[in-house]
Amino acid sequence: MPPLVKVLAAGLWIAALGAAQNAPPPAQEDVPVFTADTRLVVVHTSVLDSKGKLLTNLPQTAFKVLENGIEQPIKIFRREDVPVSMGIVIDNSGSMRDKKTRVAAAALALVKASNPQDEVFIVNFNDDAYLDQSFTSDIKKLEEALERMETKGGTAMRDAVSMSIDYVKGKAKKDKKVLVVITDGNDNTSNINLEELVRKSQQSDVLIYSIGILSEEEPREARRAKRALHDLALVSGGMDYYPKDLEEVDKITPQVANEVRNQYTLGYTPADLKLDGTFRKIAVAVNAPGRPTVRSRNGYYATAGNK
């Protein structure tokens, strides 16, 4: 190579190297909303007017978050239709035999009314709980999973919810996590009791919506089933529904999808940073006309890994 060509080639190489060193870092896609900071407490909040209609245009100044009665500065405020990690937990006991087809259709309607980028898994339960479909965004796979479930045996609802909380916390790729539980009777075979499951729910940030089709259940058993479904929804910030018939189930699942897509997300770092294992009560207050109803998780245990 002639000397002049060598000099030009060396100069170009040095210039290219300098440009590469000075170039800005490549843009990162899918930057997470929340860091891994365990002291950031996330509170998904629904606000409804006196007629039960969602209020979706409130400013951050309308909200106050209190932990153990002390107001906390809000560090994150969002009202966006973000993709979620959702689990559909369906009773597959023998008493669901005549309801299976309609409930499967309602569950599929829930998926279709949700954000297309959601990831969804399906757990069915009778005497035991089974992961029938792992996380997917493929509606065809979800439809096939719902169609192949067989109804038999008893009702291990609490075990199914417990397993689903573990699965969504360990495998979810989205920050926001939701369970929708559909059952037609009181739990009669689970190993975990209600108090343990409620505490486990409070130690997670998973929203739980429950649908109890209890019209055919004996009154005493129906009351017990309602208590469990209500307590799980209450502590997580979700909602419990008790349709009189299967036609009402068809209407409820799109309502759940609509609420999940239209919630506020609040985040704060608690003034009390001690990880002492105590229960911290959360209350969200909204200053808006008409005294709206506010739903959010009611607290958490201050242990490592909770937020």
pLDDT tens figures, 79-106: 999 999 999 999 999 999 999 999 999 9
pLDDT of residue 8: 36
In order, the DSSP letters of 209-264 are EEEE--TTS-HHHHHHHHHHHHHHHHHHT--EE--SSHHHHHHHHHHHHHHHTT-E
DSSP of 115-155: -TT-EEEEEEESSSEEEEEEEE--HHHHHHHHHT----S--
Q: Tell me what pLDDT residue 7 has.
A: 37
The pLDDT of residue 270 is above 70? yes
The pLDDT value recorded for residue 35 is: 36
CA 305 to chain centre: 17
Categorize the per-residue pLDDT at 307 as very low, low, confident or very high, splitting at 50, 70 and 90. low
Instruction: Determine the average pLDDT of the residues in 109-131.
Output: 97
Quickly state the pLDDT bin for 304 (edges 50, 70, 90).
Answer: confident
pLDDT the model gives residue 268:
97
Residues 158, 163, 166, 171: what is their CA dihedral angle, to the nearest 10 degrees? -140
Instruction: Encode pLDDT of 5-27 as tens digits.
Output: 443 344 433 444 344 344 444 33
Q: What is the mean pLDDT of residues 1-5?
A: 43
Determine the pLDDT at residue 32: 35
Q: What is the mean pLDDT of the chain?
A: 89
Average pLDDT over residues 282-294: 95
Which pLDDT score is estimated for 148? 85
Stated pTM of the model: 0.86
Residue 23 has what pLDDT? 41
Average confidence (pLDDT) over 209-223: 95
pLDDT for residue 232: 98
Give, as one character, the DSSP assignment of residue 105: H
Could you give the residue range(s) of every CATH 3.40.50.410 domain in the chain?
A: 85-260
Question: What's the rounded mean pLDDT across residues 229-256?
Answer: 96
Per-residue pLDDT, averaged over 277-291, amounts to: 95
Torsion angle (degrees, nearest 10) of CA 179, 101, 119, 306: 10
Residue 174 has pLDDT above 90, yes or no: yes
**Fold for the domain defined by 85-260:** Rossmann fold (3.40.50)
